Structure formats: C-alpha cells, structure tokens
Amino acid sequence: MTEARQRLTDLLGGYRRTALVHLAAELSIADHLAGRAATSAELAETVGARPEALHQVLRALAGIGVLRHTGDDRFALTEVGELLRSTAPGSMHGAAVYFGALSYRAYTGLLDAVRHGGVAFERVFGTGYYDHLDQHPRLAGYYHQMIALPRGTGAVLAGLFDFTAYHTIVDVGGGNGSLLAELISLLPHAKGVVYELALSAPSVAEVLSEWELGDRCVFVPGDFRESVPPGGDVYLLSRVLANWADADAVRILANCRAAMLPGARLVIFEMVMPSPVTEGAFPVEGDLNALAHFGGAVRSRAEFDRILTAAGFGLRSLTPVGPGVPWSLIECEVRA
C-alpha cells in the first residue's frame, strides 16, 4: 500500500476508535479493571454484556493500546486505559462519554449542514446544543469537566492584562468558574461574577466551593443573548464567541457593551485563525467543532474587527499567548 493510501485508510478508520473508546467508557470497563486483570467472561457478567461480543470489543481495545491482552487470556489496563478510570487523576472518562455521545454523532450531520444549511448538531439531535445539555445533566457535568482550561490559565491571563486597577470582573459564559476563581485568587482586592446558564449551576458550585473564595466569587444565572449583569469593571469573554455565528456574537458583544459603565473594559480570550493555515493547526480543529456543534467559527483578526465594530467596540490590541498555545487575548475599547 502506498503511503498516501495508508494515510487515507487511517483517516477513514477514525470512527472505529471513537466508537470503541466511547463503548468502553459507557460500560465503565476501566473502573472494573482497576488494579486487576480479568477475563471477558468475568467482565461481561459485571457490566451486563454478551461475553462473546465483549471479548471481540476487548481484543479491539487491546489492538488500539487501551487494554493489554495477557498470555492467560485476561485483559488489563495500559497507561492509556488508566485515564478512562472515572477516579483517575486527570480522568478522561467524562470526555470519552461526551465525545462519543455528542460530538461523534453531531459530525454525522455535517454533510447535510454544509450542503443545505443549518447546524449539524441540530440536524442530528433535533435541538440546540445547550438545550440538549439542559435536558441531560450528566452530559452537562462532563462538558464542563472537559472544556475547563488547565489550572495556570488564570495566571497567564493576569500576565497579559493588568487587572489590578479593576474591582469587579464579570466572566460572561464563565464555564464551571475555574478560570475566574483562579484569577480572583491572584487578585486579593477583586470580586468575580460567573455569569452562566442555569444548567451550569452544579458544576460552578462544585468548583467555587473548592476554591473557598466565599462571596468574592459568585454565580449569577442568565442568558447572555438576553442581557449581561451590569456593574462590572472588566467583562471577560473567554472562548464564548467562537460558538456563535456573527449575528449572535454581535448580540452578545452588544449586551456586554450595554452593561458597561464608562471606564469598564472588555477582554476576549479566544483562538484566532491564522492565515494561511498549516497542517495540524489547532484553530482549524476548533473551527470545525464550532461549525458542527453551533454553526460558529474561529475568527481571524479581521473578522473580530468586523463583529466588534458592529457591536460598538474597537479592537485595541491582540496578543497571542505564545508558541504552542492557540489562544490570544484581545483587548477592546468602547467606541462612542
């Protein structure tokens, strides 16, 4: 087989890997193999599956390096498989369920969406992404675990923008609150508001209680397409706008602007599309995810300029975090 043919064959087989890992996560196979090797018959009884079929699945998982098939016909976790244990440090169990149950299926609607319009996710699920999460609290919890930025990102933000002169930071669409909590912990004078959909309440409550910031960091439920809480000195939009097509993105920005008093600042933390793109460029993957799930896009600098102008802002500066990190900080000014 030529190298190109082999490469395309590998690309075509991606569906199998996603489906297998998802199946393993849904059956909690890694939890049942924690600290021991087991036969497929033993596992089948524990997880409630057909032994013959499960045996084939376990062999396939060994074939992709998630499990190890031992000489006595047992299966054990590899280092990769360990990450699927629900209580492993840095567990990716939730991500595996999430990708298999949502993203994998959403992408099957992409062809029709590209041909005929609409959003791939909505074509497949018959509802919007966040409405679906609202109806499936387990997936909403996994979603927040999965998308949360790594600890240390708050310090990166504080290195790119001087928050010290500002007292109240409103994180608009603040996810599970971990980014804002880290930022507030670094700014002893400051208070924070995590403004989020009501469906995010359990995830935010869990994170804020871990950070023990008391009333220095609070959760306010709401919909940023309707309004944004007033009274902030800094409004942060971290990784929100890519999930929305231009009309909604402008509406969210305009709602921030309406909430801002003179002197307040808007800071955007997002991926910015490079041009030309290179193979493996992270923003391209983010862009396609935004398209498939939301009909959104990762924008170029010129595209940010356009939506900011439409919402009454100017793009003051755009600072990439640095090599190997796909995010940039965009500082905006209110235009008269």
Ligand X SMILES: C[S@@+](CC[C@H](N)C(=O)[O-])C[C@H]1O[C@@H](n2cnc3c(N)ncnc32)[C@H](O)[C@@H]1O
Note the residues at the interface with ligand X (CB under 6 A). Answer: 130, 147-149, 173-175, 179, 196-197, 200, 223-225, 238-240, 243
Cβ proximity to ligand X: between 31 and 196 the closer is 196
Minimum distance between the CB of residue 149 and ligand X, rounded to whole angstroms?
A: 5
DSSP string for residues in 185-227: HH-TT-EEEEEE-GGGHHHHHHHHHHHT-GGGEEEEE--TTT-
Cβ proximity to ligand X: between 40 and 255 the closer is 255
Cβ proximity to ligand X: between 42 and 134 the closer is 134
**In this chain, which residue has its C-beta nearest to ligand X?**
175
Minimum distance between the CB of residue 89 and ligand X, rounded to whole angstroms?
A: 20
Minimum distance between the CB of residue 183 and ligand X, rounded to whole angstroms?
A: 11
Minimum distance between the CB of residue 327 and ligand X, rounded to whole angstroms?
A: 9
CB 292 within 8 A of CB 317: no
Minimum distance between the CB of residue 268 and ligand X, rounded to whole angstroms?
A: 11
Q: Which two tokens stand for residue 326?
A: 């796909």
| Angle between helix 51-63 and 14-26 (nearest 10) | 120
Cβ proximity to ligand X: between 114 and 147 the closer is 147
Cβ proximity to ligand X: between 145 and 243 the closer is 243
CA angle 256, 261, 266 (to 5 degrees): 45
Alpha helix ranges (H) inside 1-50:
3-12, 14-26, 29-32, 40-47
Minimum distance between the CB of residue 190 and ligand X, rounded to whole angstroms?
A: 17
Cα distance between residue 133 and residue 154, in whole Å: 26
Per DSSP bridges, beta strands 265-271 and 325-334 are: antiparallel
Cα distance between residue 112 and residue 248, in whole Å: 22
Cβ proximity to ligand X: between 81 and 175 the closer is 175
